[in-house]
Amino acid sequence: MNAVRAPAVIMLVALLIGAFAFAAESSSPERTDESVTALAEWSLAGAAADLWFCEGPTQRAAGVADRVVALVNPTDSPAEGRITVVDESGNRVSRTYQVEAGTTFEFRPDPFVPRADYAAVTVEAPSGGLYVDQAVLGEASNGLDRGPCATSTSSSWRHPWATTERPGTTAVLLLHNPFPGNAVADLRLVGDLGRRESLDSQGIVVGSRSLVALDLGERVADSEVVSAIVDVRVGQLVSALFLAGDGVSPNAWEGVDLTPGLPGDAGRLFLAGPGLSDRDAGAEHAGPPLDASVVLLNAGGEAVELEVVPHPVSGGAFVEPFRLVLHPGRREVVDLLGDGRLDGIGPFLLEVRSFGAPTLSAALVTREYRLPGDDTGEPVRPGFDVNSAVDHAATSWRVRVDPSSSATATLVVANPSRAGIATVQLAVVAGPGSDAEADAERPLPAALELDPGTLVEVPLPPGVVEVESSAPVTVLVREVGASGRTGWSGVAGAGTVVRPS
Amino acid sequence: MDTDPSDGRQGAGDPAAAGREAGPRATSPSPLVGLVLVAHDPGDWFEEVLTAVGVQDHHDLEVLVVDAGRRAGLAERVAGILPWAEVVDAPNAPGFGAAANVALGRKRRAAFHLFMHDDLVLDGTAVRRLVECALEVNAGVVGPKVLDGADPRYLEDMGCWVDRYGGGVPRFESGELDQGQYDAEREVFACAESAVLVRSDLFEAVGGFDPEVRFLDGALDLCWRSRLVGAAVVTAPTAVGRSVGGRRTRRRRTDPQRLHPRHRLRMTLVNQDPVQRSIALVELALATVFGALYGLLVGRFRHVRGLLAAWPWNLRRLASARERRATIAGHFGSDHTRLYVRHDVPHRSFHRAVTGRASVGTGAEAPGRLRLHQLWSALLGPGGITLLLGAAVLGFGSRHLLTRGLPAIGRFQALPDDALDLARSWWTGWRPSGTGVDAPPTEGFALLGLLDGPFPWGSEVLLAAAVLSAFPLGAVGVWRLVRPIGGGRSRAVAVLTYLAVPVPYNALAEGRIAPLAAYAALPWVAQRLAIAQGVVPYGRRGGVPGPGARLGGLWGEVLVGGLVVAAAAGVEPSTAVLGGVVLAGLVVGSVLAGSPAGVPRLLLVAFGACVVASLLHLPRLDRLPDGDLAAAFVDPSHWPAGDLGAAAILRLDTGTFVAGRLGWALLVIPAIALLTADGWRLALVVRSWMVAAGGFGLAWVLDQGWWAGPMPAAELVLVPAALGLAWAAAVGAAAIGVGTLDRAFGWRHALPPLAALALLVAVAPVVASSLDGRWGLPERGLDAAVPVFEVEGDADDIEGSRETPRVLWLGEPSVLPAAGVDLGDGLAFAVTDGPADLLDQVPLRLVDGEGLSGVHDAVRTLLAGTTSRVGGLLAGWGVQYVAVVERGAAAPYTAVESPAPDALLASLHRQLDLERVEGLNRAVAVFANPVAEPVHAVVRDRTGRAVPVDLGRPGWGRLEATMVVAGSYRAAIGPEGWWRIEDHDGEAEPVEDGAPVLATARVDAGDRLVLVLDDDRTSTGSRTRQLAILALAVLATSWAHLGRARSGLER
């Protein structure tokens, strides 16, 4: 038999060359641990089902006059879902709700659990699109706190700052388990005398669909600063810290604050500066604080060298960072105004950087403030406020100012990235409807440009405002009124959250 | 020996003169011998026969020629050579016995009769030596040694022994050389048929030949009767004759398949004593039944006819049998059974009577032993030694798997508690996987279920043996495939190459069954295709066939090919597609090599084989119109575009079995073969390379991401490449040494050591991997991580009220413990009742069951993040657990890891009605569904709560439910319409939207419902037809194959 070799060899060589030349690039996605979740995220209507978790006191709690949960539907279609209210006694009540398009549905948890001091509310929004926040008013208008509810659950929560000073302060850690399985959490408390762990802080069982309220004053009594580290062994939780002071404590803490925890540790954190320029220049927007501290907590197992870096908006100023070493399980309070290095630098962005393990959490604590337009120089009480640092930014945010509030609100937008200008656009997506005059008084700028490491403050009209940015930014709202001063982070758009570069 | 015919002619017509020339011995007194030559229309050889008679050196010889034929002119032919011989007619062609018996009626003084056939050429001294032998041992009957007339070096007949049914048992195997090996033993039961010297008084005493025994077995009967009366029967080895007539046995009147059965029965009736006769008759009746079935099975219809016709033929001749029995009646009761008991092994006698194959002996030359000897001979060659070494390495490397079983990874899941469920599922077409689907397991699984019962070492070992059998099956398949190419060296290289490819080891490590099944089956399919093409060395086209090549007819090849393809597809359906790759490779290779001979026949046979295989798998093909063709057969795998790359594909490097750069060694010998072979070897190596290119190309196309359907495993599509390389390597081994030593020293002399080195390098990783005894498989599988799915309590509880929890599995397809439905993006889901078992390992589609679609929708909703209560969506389908699998085996054992998407886990963690089960192995994240409803439940009227029923399973396809409360009974078991309620008078209710897929019924507490699989839905009818078609195909194949063998024999 005669056979030829050349055609086969040529064909095989051609196939070989073609296989290598036209080979597709590997499309297998590389798995990274860069995924980050904001404490609260909203979804477009119909895109996903959202769950909102609101924890807080009821009117029965000491120092609390009122607590209102608001469901805002800024979309064009009605929203339906279910509200479940649980208390620390194991009671659970569930109701369905419907919020018409462009309207707000407010309710108080108290009637659902009439004998409870604390109540957690789970709002199911099967179609998404909802914005849920809550407000707590201190007794006799003594303090105010407002902020969006959380949408995240986590297996680790950090609360860098609380106080159990006696007399006159209340600090209650709220652990909410909205899921059907029991959760088991370990609690570490760090007081003035150092870290405290007790047997009753280990293996705390948070039953399915229940709320546990832990009075920190009973565990670490009379401590000027208490930090709480919650590690969940089994399941996932939502955590918040409720603080109330009547002004008679040694540091005269007065007012109420409901601070959601930080869901985990980070190596790089951002805080919008407290607006110190106003202290000297007079109030333009929100009332400036008269004191400010950054509380740093290292929940990890090794010492961390870190620095707190102020980034002034005015590029020419240089401020020496605050450098320190934080041992495992310890916290440190940095008084921003104590040594005067921030005097006169104007608005600034605070960055907390770890040179070691990413096991940090941080919060900005302010206490005294002056009302906008008040030139008496006297501080106004009540009104302490705790703002948690964030490790993320996003290109889409929503914030809401209660139209019924008489307080003055300011939007703080910061660009935490090291490079890249952020072009920010603001728009009211759901206003109060009847308050056109208020809109006219506080018009939103059409667009803002933010250089890296800078921030901008603009007055905020009532209603839901959407912040769209070409680069990831952080968004904070400050509100100052007769009842007190409060601030909260915006709600990030789902899918737009990233770690800043 | 003197067989010079010229001597005969010299002495023709004058026996006295011939005797004188014979010397002093011829002048001594000798007994008169009456030679009776029975002629039946003899051919041209007859003159030579007569001449040989004429030159006999025995003085006293009278010749009587009996013309038992129908043609005229015999007397003239006799007179021309033996004018002194007497010629008589035996009218109406009465047969040899009746014709020879003319000697009975003739009053002669002959002391001996010598009865001869007309085709035996006697040596010149044969008669004298027969007589001398008779006188020397005082024998009553003496026969000569008969040699092959065409080649006198071979033995033709030296008498025979007899079995218990009167069947002759030759003393030697056909084709044996005459080396005097049987000369020492003279005593036989019956002497050669062609010539029989009988003492004349003995002949009278036994009544001569049986006139009813025609042409065959006459001498056997005569000898038997002679021995009954006490005469000795011997063979005179010095008396030699040659059989010159050739084979005439196909003539109807002398067909041994027709005559032997009737003669066997006749001799049993006549020559056996009453007791032995009765026993033998019963056994022969049984042998007739079995023989008829056997004949029908293998297509030997003449054999069947002969067996069946023997009985009426003998019944019509009972009177004559009685007469002949009376002749020697007084001699019954003697110890005559000793005459044949020596060679009567009952089961072989029975086998001989059943099959009609009496041409072989009963000793070491028995067919089974002969085949065994051939096998041993083959095994002790290079190819065989390679097989043995390969078996040793494979056995050593598999020792822990064979003794402890396979870990439960991937598709390697345990057999069901009742392994016969595999067969039952295949038979009915229903499977409990995926909430109940119309997707039966393959025939391979069904067979495994049937084997579990008789298998003595337990289900775990059975599964391990079944999986690991892929290696020897594949190796033997390649061994047979390359057998015609050359000697043992090429077989050795091919087998080693095939065993060295990483494909099966990766499939094993990842728990994939499909690639292993294809690895085992594809060489056999390729062999049928190569034979079908019929090109040298597999056929006559283009040269002389190679060793072991079997030349088949078209229909036989179509049928055999169809059966092979059907068998391969029965184990793994995708093998049929891979067979197509081999076919395409052969066609393209033939064209490229410029030798397209046989391609039309190849295509014709392949088409026919596909038709046959399709007919054999009609029940499976029934499913195809309902959905995606590929999804029905392909176990989906995650294969991102560009994941492998061209280099890894060429090295067949697809998984954890990493040969690294050593993998390039697999290509060396095939490349050498392509560059150096010539002639038919070049044509074959081109075809082999094209087969390999088909596999490589298929893998490359899939790796490019051009295929949108479910992705098969990379190991599966690379099996043709492995086969092509092994095939080409065999050709290379055969071609490398050809003419090398005859050439001047040059580069070609470097090829053999280079090839040997490449082979060693290729094999080394396999040898190294064998050291751990498990081929890298973990000691424990995923089952160690999910004990939560086991039903707690005693086994009795399982049959009682407790339901096996239904589990939704999510994860990368290859790490799932059940064949899943592809969700895209490397994710699949599967639903099982309790821990997965082998029933859950068959690919299925959404259309196979409504429950599967419902669960799929819920999972889609979950993945889209548009629900926070997926437990409720799954509740109606009875899904009690959601398990996200991230490793193939429990940690910390080595296994394939495939972390689940963060979005999936995050979404599951956010479900308000799923409860994470803590404390489990990190290989799996399990969520309990507290809102899940029982699969079988009664929904109470007022509360709407679903209360479980007491459930029993008395048999496959039958469930008994006893109600504990009143309400509406409903079951989440599918597919819709497959289950119907029996034995219940309650009012039927319509199917609700959503979960229940079975018509509900009103029930009261204590009511008992029986659910049965609806016969109208099950596949029992089509399975029956499938088995019938299979039987017909096997029958037709057997007929075609044996017909081919017979025709080959005749050639």
Indicate the residue of A19, A25, A29 with minimum beta-carbon distance to B646: A19
- Best of B541, B588, B592, B920 to substitute, by most chain A Cβ atoms within 10 angstroms, is B592
3-state DSSP call for residue B897?
A: strand
In chain B, residues with a C-beta closer than 8 Å to the C-beta of A37 are 906
Task: Identify the pLDDT of residue A177.
Answer: 94
| A122: closest chain B residue by CA | B912
Place of tokens 């069951």: B849
Does B678 sit within 8 Å of A124, measured CB to CB? Answer: no
A338-349 average pLDDT score: 79
Place of tokens 């009594």: A221
Task: Identify the pLDDT of residue B784.
Answer: 86
B146-165 average pLDDT score: 87
CB atoms near residue A77 (< 10 Å): 13
Identify whether residues B751 and B794 lie together within a single domain: no
The domain boundary, picked from B355, B371, B396, lies at B355
Indicate the residue of B543, B642, B910 with minimum beta-carbon distance to A27: B642
Identify whether residues B624 and B482 lie together within a single domain: yes
Which contiguous run of DSSP H or E holds residue B830?
strand B827-833
- For residues B464 and B444, give the distance between their C-alpha atoms in angstroms, rounded to a whole number: 14
Helix axes B470-481, B458-468, angle to 10 degrees: 30
In chain A, residues with a C-beta closer than 8 Å to the C-beta of B680 are 1, 3
Greatest Cα pair distance in chain A: 112
For B427-479, write each residue's pLDDT tens digit: 999 999 998 998 889 999 999 999 998 999 889 999 999 999 999 999 999 99
DSSP strand pairing (B915-917 vs B827-833): unpaired
When mean pLDDT is compared across B533-547, B628-642, B769-783, the lowest value belongs to: B628-642
B487-501 average pLDDT score: 90
Which contiguous run of DSSP H or E holds residue B584?
helix B574-592
How far CA B305 is from CA of B95, B252, B257, B353, B1034, in Å, comes to 21, 12, 8, 14, 21
Does B649 sit within 8 Å of A26, measured CB to CB? Answer: no
Closest CA to B492 of B737, B749, B771, B717: B737
3-state DSSP call for residue B273?
A: coil
- For residues A179 and B918, give the distance between their C-alpha atoms in angstroms, rounded to a whole number: 14
3-state DSSP call for residue A186?
A: strand
Q: What ipTM, to 2 d.p.?
A: 0.84
When mean pLDDT is compared across A490-499, B401-410, B712-721, B944-953, the lowest value belongs to: B944-953
Retrieve residue B456's tokens: 């003595």
B619-648 average pLDDT score: 78
DSSP secondary structure letter of residue B150? S
Is residue B410 a contact partner of residue B888, using CB atoms and an 8 Å limit? yes
| B640: closest chain A residue by CA | A28
Q: Residue A432: which pLDDT band, with cuts at 50, 70 and 90? A: low
When mean pLDDT is compared across B130-144, B269-283, B362-376, the lowest value belongs to: B362-376
B210-215 average pLDDT score: 84
Sign of CA pseudo-dihedral B742, B746, B747, B752 = positive
- For residues B699 and B718, give the distance between their C-alpha atoms in angstroms, rounded to a whole number: 6
In chain B, residues with a C-beta closer than 8 Å to the C-beta of A24 are 641-642, 703-705
Identify whether residues B900 and B945 lie together within a single domain: no
Identify whether residues B708 and B732 lie together within a single domain: yes
Q: What is the DSSP string of A57-97?
A: E-TTSTTEEEEEEEEE--SSS-EEEEEEEEETTS-EEEEEE
**d(CA A264, nearest CA chain B) in Å:** 15
Greatest Cα pair distance in chain B: 127
**d(CA B604, nearest CA chain A) in Å:** 22
Count the helix, strand and coil residues of chain A and give each as a percent rounded to the nearest 5.
5, 50, 45
Does B606 score more than 90 pLDDT?
Answer: yes
3-state DSSP call for residue A174?
A: strand
Task: Identify the pLDDT of residue A315.
Answer: 66
Retrieve residue B374's tokens: 């051939």
CATH of the domain at B239: 3.90.550.10
Task: Identify the pLDDT of residue A439.
Answer: 54
Asked whether residue B883 is assigned to any structural domain, the reply reads: yes
Q: Residue A254: which pLDDT band, with cuts at 50, 70 and 90? A: confident
| A208: closest chain B residue by CA | B915
Indicate the residue of A24, A50, A208 with minimum beta-carbon distance to B641: A24
- For residues A229 and A220, give the distance between their C-alpha atoms in angstroms, rounded to a whole number: 13
Q: How many CB pairs under 8 A join A and B?
A: 139
Retrieve residue B445's tokens: 């699984």
% of residues, chain A, pLDDT over 70: 87
In chain A, residues with a C-beta closer than 8 Å to the C-beta of B674 are 5, 8-9, 12
Asked whether residue B361 is assigned to any structural domain, the reply reads: no
Identify whether residues B786 and B764 lie together within a single domain: no
Contacts 24+ apart (CB under 8 A), B97-100: B97/B208, B97/B209, B97/B210, B97/B211, B97/B212, B97/B213, B97/B214, B97/B218, B97/B221, B98/B68, B98/B209, B98/B211, B98/B214, B99/B38, B99/B40, B99/B66, B99/B68, B100/B36, B100/B38, B100/B66, B100/B208, B100/B209, B100/B218
Task: Identify the pLDDT of residue B13.
Answer: 41
A221-243 average pLDDT score: 91
Alpha helices (H) along A273-367:
277-281
B572-579 average pLDDT score: 90
DSSP strand pairing (A92-99 vs A50-57): unpaired
B829-840 average pLDDT score: 92
Identify whether residues B268 and B170 lie together within a single domain: yes
Identify whether residues B298 and B392 lie together within a single domain: no
Task: Identify the pLDDT of residue A431.
Answer: 63
Asked whether residue B1027 is assigned to any structural domain, the reply reads: no
Task: Identify the pLDDT of residue A378.
Answer: 61
Query: Which residues have a Cβ under 8 Å from the Cβ of A105 and sit 6 or more positions away?
Result: A70, A71, A72, A73, A97, A98, A99
| A182: closest chain B residue by CA | B915
B779-796 average pLDDT score: 70
% of residues, chain B, pLDDT over 70: 87
Task: Identify the pLDDT of residue B11.
Answer: 37
In chain B, residues with a C-beta closer than 8 Å to the C-beta of A50 are 868
Asked whether residue B439 is assigned to any structural domain, the reply reads: no
Indicate the residue of A27, A208, A234 with minimum beta-carbon distance to B640: A27
Indicate the residue of A2, A31, A178 with minimum beta-carbon distance to B594: A2
| B649: closest chain A residue by CA | A19
Identify whether residues B817 and B759 lie together within a single domain: no
Task: Identify the pLDDT of residue B634.
Answer: 83
Asked whether residue B441 is assigned to any structural domain, the reply reads: no
Size (chain B), residues:
1051
Which contiguous run of DSSP H or E holds residue B970?
strand B967-971
Is residue B539 a contact partner of residue B599, using CB atoms and an 8 Å limit? no
Does A1 sit within 8 Å of B683, measured CB to CB? Answer: yes
The domain boundary, picked from B928, B947, B968, lies at B928
Task: Identify the pLDDT of residue B674.
Answer: 92
Identify whether residues B955 and B824 lie together within a single domain: no
Does A3 sit within 8 Å of B683, measured CB to CB? Answer: yes
DSSP secondary structure letter of residue B849? -
B283 CB-contact burial (10 Å; exposed 0-12 / middle 13-18 / buried 19+): middle
Does A48 sit within 8 Å of B866, measured CB to CB? Answer: yes
CB atoms near residue B693 (< 10 Å): 24
Identify whether residues B580 and B672 lie together within a single domain: yes
- For residues B15 and B19, give the distance between their C-alpha atoms in angstroms, rounded to a whole number: 6
Does A286 score more than 60 pLDDT?
Answer: no
Retrieve residue A453's tokens: 């490491």
Q: Residue A370: which pLDDT band, with cuts at 50, 70 and 90? A: low
Task: Identify the pLDDT of residue A55.
Answer: 95
In chain A, residues with a C-beta closer than 8 Å to the C-beta of B642 are 23-28
In chain B, residues with a C-beta closer than 8 Å to the C-beta of A16 are 646, 650
Alpha helices (H) along B789-843:
795-799
Task: Identify the pLDDT of residue B1.
Answer: 38
Mean pLDDT, chain A, as a whole number?
84
For B980-1014, write each residue's pLDDT tens digit: 887 665 555 544 544 445 557 788 888 888 888 88
CB atoms near residue B146 (< 10 Å): 26
Place of tokens 């010299």: B10
Does B358 score more than 60 pLDDT?
Answer: no
| B867: closest chain A residue by CA | A49
- For residues B581 and B579, give the distance between their C-alpha atoms in angstroms, rounded to a whole number: 5
Is residue B512 a contact partner of residue B1004, using CB atoms and an 8 Å limit? no
Alpha helices (H) along B709-849:
714-717, 719-736, 751-769, 795-799
B675 or B256, higher pLDDT: B675
Place of tokens 């905020």: A460
Indicate the residue of B866, B899, B930 with minimum beta-carbon distance to A180: B930
% of residues, chain B, pLDDT over 90: 36
Is the N-terminal amide bond of B892 cis, ω within 30° of 0?
yes
Which contiguous run of DSSP H or E holds residue B684?
helix B679-703
Does A5 sit within 8 Å of B674, measured CB to CB? Answer: yes
Asked whether residue B815 is assigned to any structural domain, the reply reads: yes
When mean pLDDT is compared across A189-203, B105-119, B333-347, the lowest value belongs to: B333-347
Which contiguous run of DSSP H or E holds residue A212?
strand A210-215
Retrieve residue B966's tokens: 């009143």
Task: Identify the pLDDT of residue A348.
Answer: 83
Does B680 sit within 8 Å of A1, measured CB to CB? Answer: yes
Does B10 score more than 50 pLDDT?
Answer: no
Does A15 sit within 8 Å of B868, measured CB to CB? Answer: no
Structural domains of chain B, count: 4
Asked whether residue B344 is assigned to any structural domain, the reply reads: yes
Asked whether residue B478 is assigned to any structural domain, the reply reads: yes
Identify whether residues B475 and B540 lie together within a single domain: yes
B715-722 average pLDDT score: 95
Q: What is the DSSP string of A11-36?
A: HHHHHHHHHHHTPPPP-PPPP-S---
CATH of the domain at B988: 2.60.40
Domain of residue B719: give its range: 382-413+469-772
Does A234 sit within 8 Å of B916, measured CB to CB? Answer: yes
| A37: closest chain B residue by CA | B906
Does B67 score more than 60 pLDDT?
Answer: yes
Count the helix, strand and coil residues of chain B and give each as a percent rounded to the nearest 5.
50, 15, 35
Retrieve residue B868's tokens: 């926070």
Residue A339 amino acid letter: D
Could you give the angle at the alpha carbon of A165 between the alpha carbons of A164 and A170, nearest 5°? 45
Task: Identify the pLDDT of residue B344.
Answer: 62
Exposure on the CB side of residue B737, measured as CA atoms within 13 A: 11
Is the N-terminal amide bond of A167 cis, ω within 30° of 0?
yes
Identify whether residues B211 and B316 lie together within a single domain: yes
Task: Identify the pLDDT of residue B976.
Answer: 83
Task: Identify the pLDDT of residue A34.
Answer: 56
Closest CA to B873 of B908, B828, B834, B824: B908
**d(CA A95, nearest CA chain B) in Å:** 15
A343 CB-contact burial (10 Å; exposed 0-12 / middle 13-18 / buried 19+): exposed
When mean pLDDT is compared across A77-81, B57-61, B583-587, the lowest value belongs to: B57-61
Sheet with B821-824: list strands edge to edge: B821-824, B827-833, B806-811, B879-885, B924-928, B915-917
